Amino acid sequence: MVNNKKVLITGGAGFIGSHIAEYFAANRYKVIVVDNLSSVNSQKFNNNLNIIFYKRDITNDSLDDIFENEKPDIIIHLAAQVSVTKSTKEPIFDAMQNIIGTLKILKYCRKYGVKKIVAASTAAVYGDIKPPVSEDSAPKPLSHYGLSKLTMEEYVKLSGVNYIIIRFSNVYGSRQNVYSEAGVITLFKNAMLKNQEITIFGDGEQVRDFIYVKDIAKIVFELCETDVVNEIVNISTGQGISINNLFKLMAKKYNYSLEPKYKPKRENDIVVSILSNDKLLKILPCHFVDVLKNKEVLHLDDI
């Protein structure tokens, strides 16, 4: 049985969005997905009766008919340009996707009386700040991507729409694009299974806070179920692992014997990125505490 609540997810056919869409649909929401299918691993939800799909580009196409006909209660805004490298090479495109695209969604939210928007941001807004990084840390983005996401946040806060801004740490899991900058776990696994050479940029001592995409889906659902509004919340495990140690852990699991090849670090690559999840743990129901604290083993079989 579907309840009366409707959620519209921009970018809902992509890596993170598709998992969130499926989780909401499984929990009796009517789900409306808007996506331009630019992602390599886009989902189309052909067999899910609780998900309605519209192929639209939020920066170019009108969504008036969708908002008017579907009347969503909540917007989960994930559609974005997410490559740090591309943001540097094409800053205008990056700004169009992450800033102008968001402004258009906020316009629809105001026009059609949406109750809440959950807007996806990133750890990149913080820059290279000594961890663990809390929501009160002063943002110092090092890339055009981080800057466009931080600007997006400011527009959301000034919009007059009830919001939750969620700042993801490094998300991993099934459906992730192996060629994406954040897809190191997927890239390592695929290469190790094929016994192919692996490249690590920099010295490999970069530290990342990896969070499982299906945990993300559960957390976003729970945040939407709360009465919390007008807050910025980190979504992370609060734990870090270096790329070198990740390589060793995965090499042992997959019986991979080749040594990695090291190349110069990428421009604007943050050295250590670990986000505090203390605020999130205070907001979430108590049964989610273990989800975020028990991260000794990565979900390597579901990639």
Q: Which active-site residues does the annotation give?
A: 145
- What letter does residue 128 receive in the DSSP assignment? S
Q: How far apart are CA 303 and CA 180, in angstroms?
A: 14
| Residue 278 host element (H or E) | helix 278-283
Pairwise CA distance, residues 301 & 203, whole Å: 27
- Unique residue bearing structure tokens 């990342």: 208
Q: How far is residue 160's CA from residue 136's CA, in Å, rounded to a whole number?
A: 21
The rounded distance, in Å, linking the Cα atoms of 299 and 286 is 22
CA triplet 44, 46, 49: central angle to 5 degrees? 120
Distance CA 39, CA 241 (A): 27
CA distances from 41 to 38, 177, 206 (A): 9, 7, 27
Q: Which two tokens stand for residue 86?
A: 């591309």
Residue 224: is it exposed, middle or buried by C-beta count within 10 angstroms (0-12/13-18/19+)? buried
Alpha helices in 31-183 (DSSP H): 64-70, 84-89, 91-95, 101-111, 144-157
Chain center to CA of 299: 17
Task: Tokens for 49, please give them.
Answer: 């009766």
Q: What six digits make up the tokens of 222? A: 């729970």
DSSP bridge pairs for 117: 75, 163
Do 170 and 210 contact (CB within 8 A), yes or no?
yes
